[in-house]
Structure 1
Amino acid sequence: MGWTALSELVPLYPLYALLFLDTGLSAAEISLLFAAWSVTALLTEVPAGALADRWSRRGALVAGGVLEAAAFVVWTVAPQYTGFLAGFVIWGVAGALVSGTVEALVYDGLAEVGAEGAFARVNGAMTSAELLVQIPTAAAASVLYALGGYPLVGWASAAVCLAWAALALRFPEPPRERDGTTLVATLRCGVAEVVRVPALRLTVLAVALVGAMDAVEEYFPVLAGDRGVPTVAVPAAVLGIMLAGALGAALGDRADRLSDRALPVPLLLSGVLLGAAAAVPGPPALALVAASYALYLAVLVVAEARLQERIDSARRATVTSVAGLGTELAALLVFAAWALGGVAAVAALVLAVVPVVAAGLRRPPVS
């Protein structure tokens, strides 16, 4: 959990959009930067997972931290469009190296000591830490910017990335069998497992759909503004939603104990509450969104745990990365839903995925 918190304690996170604007980039140029970031992540997600399986999951995490630090160094020494573009490409590769690898390393580490059943609790705590650390991150960003502007923020961010990379060096990595003799063979085996095994394929789909719903987080500030929250108070309003989400993630372990029939209920209620928020005027709508987000994250924690239970250790990072790729693609549905109908359309999308999630997260019968 300490590593998770440190990996998110990057002062540039809340400021990089402002950095682009203050550098003089247009809205179109900023959109192209985000597009390059997304495309890089999509193209490298699954190969990076295969690399972690074939080479070293701990090594992949360390490389991810070093590359992210390099991205922020490029931004700091070359604060212009080409520098930002290069940094985003590097950061996209770094994110792919971490995505899927963390879950694989944690699950196998727990399995090594016979505690794999604790994964939901540990994963929920890690998700909570990611959300809670936004508070000190925002404070650090403000202080560093006041002291030294964007250059100090950039150098500090690179230092934080190197710090969490160094911390990852201390992670134990249980020995495991490796399928295939090449990276391509590992990649092929992992993807083929998802395609061939119906139960795993359905679980990967369920995790991708549940994970994609988290994209609604991007619209929380917009929703707060639309509900009449003054601009100066929007960060505090969004923080309230994030704190509720942290609580929900922490309760993921309890949600994991629900029966197969009961497990979809929190996600169903999340969609209902989100839909109700579309019809409620003023700040009370944000309370409904906060409750919806808490229920949603509890289910997401369970979904990620159920996926790990179904994966062979030798291909764990690869298969998890396939689910991550599916999440990125399915998130486009959330963006499209918001564009077409706002929060009500996103709520309808959440409700629509409930049957698939219920089927994909069902525990296998005890033989």
Structure 2
Amino acid sequence: MRSVLGKIYAYKALDDLILIYPLYAVMFVDHGVSPSQLALLFAVWSAVGLALEVPSGILADHLSRKHLLAAGQLIRAAGYACWLLFPSFWGYLAGFVLWGIKGALQSGTFEALVYDELDRRGAADDYAKVIGRARASGIVAILMAMLAASGVHRLGGYELLMVLSVAAVIAAAVVALALPSAPRAQSTGEVDYLAHLKQALGEALSTVAILRPMLVVVTLWTLGGSLDEFWGIYGEEAGLSRDAIPIYYAATYATSALAAALAYRLSGAPAAALYGVVILAGGLLIAAADMMSPAGMLLLAVFAGLVKLIDINFETRMQHAISTERRATIASLAGFLWTVGSIGLYLAFGQIAERWSYGAAFMTFGVVMVLSGAAFLFSRAFRRI
């Protein structure tokens, strides 16, 4: 059992050990990608995953899951190779399409493989502990990659970062092939994805106790979770060196992790107080956009922590309101709406940055967050969450 768990944790760590991550947006800009093109790259990345959600689920229920995981990693490696060999908008677009395919192939597949193997060994009750530790190993790997990226970039620039990222992805594919192939005890739940979304939408619209926190969660995920793709651009615009940007990026990620660990302490806080934190977070984003300086990057780190603190609490309230048999479908709906919202945010962000500046784009969405928090705060219905 220990050997199997080691492979599971190693796979998740290698999956997230991507050294180019904190600098890839800056790399795109350095190779002539415009703000609107950058936003389009992110939007296409999200759209590919969304479009392939259903067919990837069918594959995961009919083919070997470990082979799908390995294939997905090799497809992502090919995408990173496109970035390395063809450093232009079209090369980056091809890379994101391939990365999107990998994301769709892995969506739910890794979790199902872990559950099935534990179930085969009579340890299904340990699933939450095992998957939690796997995700923790991924978080540690991300932080390690961010901290290492600074020194690696100094030694060999973007090219060395890309080569090492490709190496990590290929290593993940090798580990995936070493994972067990247990008989299927549980479907990935994606074959009837569209039907699930329809069921979830019906229940959410008819149950205000679910709809209200879900709308808040999707808003926070869209404004907070999607904007982090642009933190590297903020650092570049603020005058940070390419070697310093990953360090600030790591600080932002660390505050999110700390907030996630402490979020439960606000589980009993009134909704109105949490909306006040939303407004505060939006104010910090506005202030950071106005500063566009290294000090502003520290404000973004606090912003990221506050958003994580709030979204976990509202997600918990949403989960409490959902009946057990509909929990996965409502979560699917929330994720679907987040992806759609993210695509809209990316495209709008790019247009604003193209027409005015990146600072103006950050400021715009800071204002949107303040207004969203205020709308929730002054709505009698949303104060009763």
TM beyond 0.5:
yes
1:308 Cα shift?
Answer: 7.8
For structure 2, the 5+ residue unaligned runs are 1-8, 350-359
One of 62, 70, 89 as aligned partner of 2:70: 62
Instruction: Find the aligned partners of 1:17 and 1:268 in 2 and give their Cα distance.
Output: 32
Closer, same or farther in 2 for the Cα pair 1:324/1:53, shift >3 Å? farther
Provide structure 1 residue ranges, at least 5 long, that are not aligned to the other structure: 363-367
Offset at 1:92?
A: 1.4
> RMSD of the TM alignment (CA)?
4.9
User: Does structure 1 residue 208 correspond to structure 2 residue 218?
Assistant: yes
CA shift, 1:68, in A, is 0.6
- Superposition pairs for residues 9-158 of structure 1, below 5 Å? 9-17=17-25, 19-20=27-28, 32-49=40-57, 51-52=59-60, 58-79=66-87, 82-101=90-109, 113-115=124-126, 125=136, 128-129=139-140, 131-139=142-150, 141-142=152-153, 145-146=156-157, 150=159, 152-158=160-166
**Hey, what's the Cα distance between the residues in 1 that align with 2:35 and 2:188?**
46
Closer, same or farther: CA 189–38 of 1 in aligned 2, 3 Å: closer
Aligned residues: 349
Q: Aligned partner of 1:138: which letter?
A: A
Change (3 A) 1:284 1:210: same
Q: Indicate the residue corresponding to 1:365 in structure 2.
A: none
% of aligned pairs identical? Answer: 29
Q: Name the CA distance, whole Å, in 1 between partners of 2:221 and 2:135.
A: 14
2:240 is aligned, of 192, 209, 231, to 231
**Change beyond 3 A, Cα 1:258–1:26:** closer
Change beyond 3 A, Cα 1:222–1:350: farther
Please tell me whether residue 348 in structure 1 is matched to residue 348 in structure 2.
no
User: Which residue type is aligned with residue 14 of structure 2?
Assistant: L
Work out the CA distance in 2 between the residues paired with 1:143 and 1:71: 24
Is residue 207 of structure 2 the alignment partner of residue 195 of structure 1? no
Residue 243 of structure 1 corresponds to which residue in structure 2?
254
Quote the offset at 1:40 in angstroms: 1.9
Q: Match of 2:339? A: 328
Letter in 2 for 1:208: V
Q: Name the SS of the counterpart of 1:163 in structure 2.
A: helix
Conservation of the 8 A alpha-carbon contact between 1:100 and 1:324: no
The TM-score with structure 2 as length reference comes to 0.66
Q: Say whether the 8 Å CA contact 1:270–1:291 is kept in structure 2.
A: no
Q: CA deviation at 1:161?
A: 1.0
TM-score, normalisation: structure 1: 0.69
Q: Residues 63, 264 of structure 1: CA spacing in aligned structure 2 closer, same or farther, 3 A cutoff? A: farther
Question: What CA distance in whole angstroms lies between the structure 2 residues aligned with 1:304 and 1:133?
Answer: 28
C-alpha distance in 2, partners of 1:201/1:222?
36
> What is the aligned partner in structure 2 of residue 269 from structure 1?
277
Kindly state the Cα deviation for residue 114 of structure 1 after the two structures are TM-superposed: 2.6
Mapped contact 1:64–1:93 kept (Cα < 8 A): yes
> Which deviations, in whole Å up to 9, do the C-alpha atoms of 1:271-327 show, x marking residues without a partner?
3244156358677665554333223224445666777886879995x8755433321
Instruction: Please identify, of 87-96 and 119-128, the stretch whose mean Cα deviation from structure 2 is larger.
Output: 119-128
Q: Find the residue that maps to 1:231 and give its secondary structure.
A: coil
* 1:178–1:159 distance in 2 versus 1, CA, 3 Å: same
- The worse-fitting range, judged by mean Cα deviation, of 15-24 and 152-161 is 15-24
Partner deviation per Cα, 1:186-242 (whole Å, 9 max, x = no partner): 33443333234335973765543332221232444566678xx64336554444333
Q: 1:49 to 1:141 in 2, by over 3 A?
A: farther
SS at match of 1:197: helix
